[in-house]
Structure 1
Amino acid sequence: MTNVDRFVIVVGFDGSKQSHAALEWAIEECQFRDAELRIVTVWDKAPMSWYPALLETAAGEIVAEESPQQQAEQISAAAAQAADAVNVVTRTVQNDSAASAILAAAQEADLVVIGARGHGGFAGLHIGSVSSQVANHCPCPVLVVRPKAAAQAR
């Protein structure tokens, strides 16, 4: 990094509670460093593997469930809106693993911030598979944001 290059922070964001905590930490750090925040959101459903479910609303209307791509784009947009006080670049990645997408974005980053766990199925683990892969293979420093002790006890 040269003196003119802006510090770049990459944050993996999947909408989970812990990714929100990682995003909050990354936003504060971006404000402190006048850094650029790059938000990475991934979805990996093949086009023919998802069929919309029809849902009935409380008003009795029938609507189609949003596609994984629409959900990922909404999650990414919500993260960007939360980070409106800093310079934000969002990236919604299709058909890739979350770890691969974050590691690819990390090639141009000075720091990666991720939550300890996302939406994975093994809630008892202290660190999820994506966080573990990123921490073990990232070319730059990684900060894994864990929940506060009081939140863990609940």
Structure 2
Amino acid sequence: MVSKINGELVYTVYAAPQRFSAQLEMQDLGLQRFAILWDKNPQYEIFELIDRALVSDLLSPVSMLHLSPEKLTIIANLPEGKNADVISAVYDRRWNEYPLQIQWQSWEFERLGPDDLASLGTGNILRLNGPHVLKTENFGVYDYEDMYFAFKDIEL
């Protein structure tokens, strides 16, 4: 998605195979959709971090990612209910154990929920564009069967 005002890249929708549902439960292989939110100085290293996170099964509840020079921020919808605190603690611990670094650079990790975006600073790119992106797109983990409509042959 490109800004209508200045023509700059705002976000990219990324889709990848995913073995876990948004509730972090094992499922048949599905397709996960999430956004990469960009700012004026894109950090293209995010693609390497995404690939590693996919292999480590860390992305299923993620709906948006943003990489700044100092920090990787993810917007995730973790399951709610009886074991929500335990799931959140384990999920955050796994991300914090995950090496957020490449050869000459490393980042801090921050996880936010969609409701946390409004509490960020007024100039923060996540606060400026995040709510609109989350409202505009359908992010999550979908069964491939739900996606078949785009590939079915139409008989005339």
Quick check: TM above 0.5? Answer: no
Structure number with the bigger relative contact order (C-alpha 8 A, sep ≥ 6) is 1
TM-score of the superposition, structure 2-length normalised? 0.32
More strand by share: 2
TM-score between the two structures when normalised by the length of structure 1: 0.32
